[in-house]
């Protein structure tokens, strides 16, 4: 993990999810997508698993398979990840 790692926000998480799903930046959704079901956004379990790997690599967050498969929205994934990210001092 880098000292200059960007804060994990819903926008950053959405960007990572799009990259893991193979979408480009133009595929961004308009409006508040934090609580929209991932399936409705077109993301499957593979995209969630790939995102979890990126979160582990970039933020040191380790999510279990049970946690990953229980995630239904970006807001839920963000809450799980933030539990493990140390607060910036």
Output the pLDDT for position 25. Answer: 52
Whether the Cβ atoms of residue 86 and residue 8 lie closer than 8 Å to each other: no
Please check the confidence at residue 8 and state whether its pLDDT lies above 80. Answer: yes
pLDDT tens across 29-81, in order?
667 889 999 999 889 889 999 999 999 999 999 999 999 988 999 999 999 99
C-alpha 7/C-alpha 55 separation (Å) is: 12
Q: Which two tokens stand for residue 41?
A: 């956004």
Please check the confidence at residue 89 and state whether its pLDDT lies above 50. Answer: no
In this prediction the pTM is: 0.82
Domains and CATH numbers, the chain: 10-24+33-82 (1.10.1200.10)
> Is residue 26 very low, low, confident or very high in pLDDT (cuts 50, 70, 90)?
very low
Output the pLDDT for position 24. Answer: 57
Neighbours of 71 (CB within 10 A): 21
Q: Does 10 or 4 have the greater pLDDT score?
A: 10
């Amino acid at each position: 993990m880098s000292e200059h790692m960007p804060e994990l926000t819903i926008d950053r998480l959405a960007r990572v999810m799009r990259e893991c799903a193979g979408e480009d930046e133009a595929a961004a959704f308009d409006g508040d997508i934090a609580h929209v079901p991932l399936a409705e956004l077109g993301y499957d379990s593979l995209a969630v698993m790939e995102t979890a790997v990126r979160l582990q690599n970039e933020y040191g967050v380790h999510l279990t398979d049970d946690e990953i498969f229980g995630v239904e929205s970006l807001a839920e994934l963000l809450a799980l990840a933030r539990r493990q990210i140390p607060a910036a001092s």
